[in-house]
Amino acid sequence: MPHFDVNQYLKDNIRTVPDWPAPGVQFRDITPLLQNPKVFRVLIDAFVHRYMDPDLRPDVVAGLDARGFILGAVVAYELNVGFVPIRKKGKLPFTTVEETYELEYGSATVELHTDAIKPGHRVLLIDDLIATGGTMMAGKKLLEKLGGTVMEGAAIVDLPELGGSDRLRESGLPLFTLVDFAGH
């Protein structure tokens, strides 16, 4: 039986949309990973099998708005741990903490409910893609404000040329990604 390469299988199922949202940008569209039940299961299992390991098992999974919700909720369910959403400002109804971060043009703010995690919780922070790393860094800071330990940041795709994964690792955050689009 031939070897099944999970990472290549997933990469082969990510759609590249040229010149979106701007000319020269190669947009990595992960929605095909979610549409095909077999591909979706392979994707989720790649995360779940890693975090079932007792040394890597989180107390809670935090997902970044919005595609991190899709992954994070399913991974949390499979691990039998709680899920907390980190949302764009103004979307959460209860008391929140917030973190603002810089974008290419301007800034953005994300929020987390103050009761989302407890001090000492080991948190897995998950999103679909790491580009500049700003969103994941803001999520990490929010979770740390509440006393959590972000044990690892996870994403499907890393775009290493944009520097986000290096920046996150330099901040002390271990990363786990499944697909690397370096040099594309």
Residue 6, Cβ density class (10 Å: 0-12 exposed, 13-18 middle, ≥19 buried): middle
87 among known catalytic residues: no
Peptide bond into 66 cis (omega under 30): yes
82 CB-near residues (< 8 Å, 6+ apart): 59, 60, 61, 76
78 among known catalytic residues: no
184 CB-near residues (< 8 Å, 6+ apart): 16, 26
Catalytic residue among 87, 98, 104, 111: 104
Catalytic residue among 28, 67, 87, 99: 67
Residues identified as active-site: 67, 104
